[in-house]
Amino acid sequence: MTATKAQTRPTPQRTCVACGTTTNKRALIRIVRTADGIVADSTGKLAGRGAYVCGAGACWDEALTNGRLEHSLKAKLSADDANALRAYAATHSGGGQ
């Protein structure tokens, strides 16, 4: 018999909306536009339009203040959603704001 090589699946790549760095999907944090608003998706499985942000605090600042996240999600970011995302960034990433 001949030995078969185990096929490896390609790792999904995504781009940070703030800095433009392309990396492994799992290394980025997904932000999702849902019917309830814009939320961080820690599981990566929420339904809705999504955008990805690096864990770097500068990327979170760029995404939230310069409209890059709004543009990617095609939705306006409410003050409550922005505050919730800043709090998420402060606890789950490299620092946030």
Residue-wise pLDDT tens digits, 20-73: 999 999 999 999 999 999 999 989 899 999 999 998 889 999 999 999 999 999
Q: What is the pLDDT of residue 46?
A: 94
Domain interval for residue 39: 13-92
- Answer yes or no: is 2 within a domain: no
Tell me the pLDDT band of 96, cut-offs 50, 70 and 90: very low
- Answer yes or no: is 40 within a domain: yes
What are residue 20's phi and psi, to 5 degrees? 80, 10
- How far apart CA 38 and CA 72 sit, in angstroms, is 12
- Which residue matches tokens 């409410």? 78
- Answer yes or no: is 7 within a domain: no
Rounded to two decimals, the pTM is 0.84
- Answer yes or no: is 43 within a domain: yes
CATH of the domain at 43: 3.30.1230.10
In the chain, DSSP finds a helix count (H) and a strand count (E) of 3, 5
- Answer yes or no: is 72 within a domain: yes
Number of domains in the chain: 1
Nearest C-alpha neighbor of 54 from the set 32, 22, 77, 86:
22
Tokens of 6: 């185990």
- Answer yes or no: is 38 within a domain: yes
